[in-house]
Copies of this chain bind each other. A is one copy, B any other.
Amino acid sequence: MTYPKSFEELMECFKMLPGIGNKGAERMAYHMLDMDALSVQRFANAMIDFKKNIHHCKICGHICEGDTCEICQDPERDHSMICVVESPKDVFAMEKLKEYHGLYHVLGGTISIMDGITADDLNIDSLFKRINEQTKEVIIATNPTREGETTALYLAKLLDQMGVNVSRIANGLPVGSSLDYADDLTLLRSFEGRQKI
């Protein structure tokens, strides 16, 4: 015996979501069975509106509802600094700090030879086009993974040729961690990056 067609189809759709397998999709479909029709309609509308309204900012690649994001539009922000991140999630993480007041540039991924992603597949060209005499510093804040580091080195080299001040966020021990649990590379970077106190 199989599930009714509409049930199967909804399960297939749930399985498109990250981390959702057969059992999870089944559970979600059963849950939806108990949801009232209005909530289901709201959910379906939210999906369609989301796809229709959310775009990437034409300047920095962050997500927004209009053509350009509120950060790029904000005259109060420091337009002489650009922080380069991998994804919109990273922008939100940085903004939570309330410490950085410059602009962002979202690459939409990292260079990865394993996955066949080259610089051309990323939002890199537009970064170079944004840089002008106003630009004082570009902070590269890609993740400290192999792909993130590769991307950072690639960008640093090209930006350096353009005569731009480039910096990279620091590696080191996370606050609250202990030395004997840190991996060798993190400890080494933490040691190399030591600062006067």
Interface residues of A in 13-35 (CB under 8 A from B): 13, 16-19, 24, 26-33, 35
A31 touches B17 (CB 8 A): yes
The stretch among A47-55, A142-150, A158-166, A172-180 that forms the contact with chain B is A47-55
Which residue of B is nearest A39, CB measured? B16
Give CA–CA (A35, B87) in the complex, Å. Answer: 15
Q: Is the interface of A mostly helix, strand, loop or mixed?
A: helix
How many copies of the chain does the oligomer comprise? 2
From the candidates B3, B13, B52, name the one contacting A42 in the complex (CB within 8 A): B13
Give CA–CA (A88, B27) in the complex, Å. Answer: 12
Residues of the B chain whose Cβ atoms lie less than 8 Å from the Cβ of A4: 53-54, 63-65
Which residue of B is nearest A17, CB measured? B28
Q: What is the size category of the interface that chain A forms with chain B? A: 35 or more
Residues of the B chain whose Cβ atoms lie less than 8 Å from the Cβ of A16: 35, 39, 43
A153 within 8 A of B: no
Q: 5 additional contacts, CB 8 Å, given A30-B87, A40-B47?
A: A6-B50, A9-B50, A13-B43, A26-B89, A30-B88
| CB pairs A–B below 8 angstroms (10 shown) | A1-B91, A1-B92, A4-B53, A13-B42, A32-B47, A33-B88, A40-B47, A40-B50, A40-B51, A44-B44
